[in-house]
Structure 1
Amino acid sequence: MSKLFELTTLNQLVLQNRIVMAPMTRARTSQPGNIPNDMMATYYQQRASAGLIISEATQISDDSQGYSFTPGVYTDAQVTGWQGVTQAVKKQGAVMFCQLWHVGRVSHPVFQQGDKPIAPSALAPVETKVWIADEQGKGEMVDCVEPREMTQVDIDRVVQDFAYAAKRAIDAGFDGVEIHGGNGYLIDQFLRTNSNHRTDNYGGSRANRIRFLLEVVDAVSKVIGADKVGVRLAPFITFKDMNCPDIVPTILEASKQLQSRNIAYLHLSEADWDDAPEIPESFRIALRECFSNTIIVAGGYTPERAEEVLNKGYADLVAFGRPFVSNPDLVSRLQSQLPLAELDGATLFGGGERGYIDYPAFSETVSG
């Protein structure tokens, strides 16, 4: 039998297979308040044949947002909204983690009550845009602005915001949280030399650039337990002006530190576009030497590539993103080697049911 469809575990959690639904921003919350809703519950429940679902990136505070209609998990209304989602998912047997993010400089004053976004350094990301929509859902991509360099007070507050949001995520019924440390957002901005020009304890050396990530992990672990904490990192993704020559050794050093904290998993975000850089096998070997707990990989995987990385021991779980958008029954399609439906890219962000919960299962396409 294929390893991909094996029953497995994530610490004490039983997963019905090794397939993960990757976190994907879909921007369908109810307004005002960025509140998860019944439509989102339906969306996730349709895809809950995955072993593990990682939610779309979720705000930890008012100032952590960078795109319209993305959810939060720090108000009572948001927690109540998420409870409907997690209950729907668990009825189908999936485990669900909430991905927590702070976007840092990948934001705009419209999300900051007119103020500048915060970041490790006052450096605007080149050729980086965020999606801003009006109440009717009509949006456009807008350039990011120069951020304000974070003070120590800012850093301490954001660390505690992560911890508070993690506690609320557990209140909302999630089995754990994934701390988003990749793809050009705040934690990633601290890790990279081109976005972090600080001269204090959070800049310069690798140990200093890793410090903010570890403080967040420690604060979250103290509140909910390290066994409920995952971290997403993206060493080979350089969009959002994140091309750092020292990022690979920095990520490997961070991975050693995360293993020493015995977190639940490390989630390696790989580029999934056609001419994306290939992950060197030497890196996969080095990462496994640094981190022996569960490793998730994500980024344009086919079933064949998934089997290869699982069989070589470089990963324990494989996440699928875009195929899950248009194939709510992705697990059964992969298992039965059925054709996959194409997604409608125009409906990815914002809108209603179209392109969100109206993709049919394969059996429905045949009978219909």
Structure 2
Amino acid sequence: MFKILVIEDNADHFALIENTLLTAFKEGVKLYHAIKLAQGIETLEQQPFDICLCDLKYPDSPLDKTVEKLKQLNSSVPIIILTSLNSIEIAQDLLQHDIQDYLPKEELSPTLLYRICMHAIERKQQQLALEKRNEEMQTFCASLSHDFKGYLRRIPQIATLLRRDLSEHTTLSSKDLERFSMLENSTSAIRDLVDSLGKFLLIGHEETKSEPIDLSALFKKLETLIINTNEDNIQLKLDVANNLPTVIGNMSQLIILFHNLISNGIKYNKNSPSIHITSSIDKNQKQCKILVKDNGIGIEKLYFQQIFSPFRRLHNNHEYKGTGLGLSIVKRIIELHKGHIDIESEPGKGSTFIVYLPLYNSP
């Protein structure tokens, strides 16, 4: 017996849907009917259902408000949109926000409706199983990172005590001091690697909240962060408009993204680092274009794709310290935000990373 919720305000349409469902589900079906969206969402939150069929227009919720409410809805029940032919594009957009499928009312048939419902139920079950594994992965990574950091914190402490005790009994040679320095540097490098690896593993697996992000506010936070965390004489020029557009995404992840790009320009640099950030809006493509330009050592064209792979480094640790994860984290964040990244660079002439992010409310 399938338990199905139908949110539909038109009595004639509901009668058609009811008849089609009763014909489609030979195993039997128990129908629940809501004529308002608020009533349907409340019912969905209070009771378990196998599936929910939902219209897009209601007396208490016009089309635009219904779309926003469905995008924000977090339910374990698979939802199928029943729409008219002239709103298929809207329904397709909803597929990016946890709606399982859509079906034009004009194409309703028992066979098609049954197949779509069963596929939606199966996909939702797979999605929930994946979310559970992701949650377990997040817990595991957090626990592993915590344990590693605990041990790593002890190594410098023990090394400091050991050096002090030895200094009280003997005179340490320059070689001895160099070895202690190597121990401290190696511990610091491992700590950085654990931090970067934790970020890399969790991005895309942890539950992140997407919301409208004001890019102007983001870059102001980023400027403060860069200035406060770097002692070098860094020229950071944010040539971005005060009225930058809004994108949909996660503030923390976007800050990590641009912080990594700026840090790259600072790290891989033989000059006084100079970072110049500019932006533009492509209304035709409905995206924001952000350029992060540095005066660093540059990259040969044949390495443009390789640098975004995890642990792929073009220089050894003696030349430039790093974990080999910074740009792979950048790429993963951009992919999660449904954007893309390009690079323009030439050895000895710096690099320009070009980030494309979709504008908020783009269809």
**Normalised-by-shorter TM-score class:** under 0.3
Higher relative contact order (CA closer than 8 Å, sequence separation 6+):
1
Q: Which has the higher helix share?
A: 2
TM-score by length of 2: 0.21
Q: Could you tell me the TM-score, scaled by structure 1's length?
A: 0.20
Larger CA Rg, structure 1 vs 2: 2
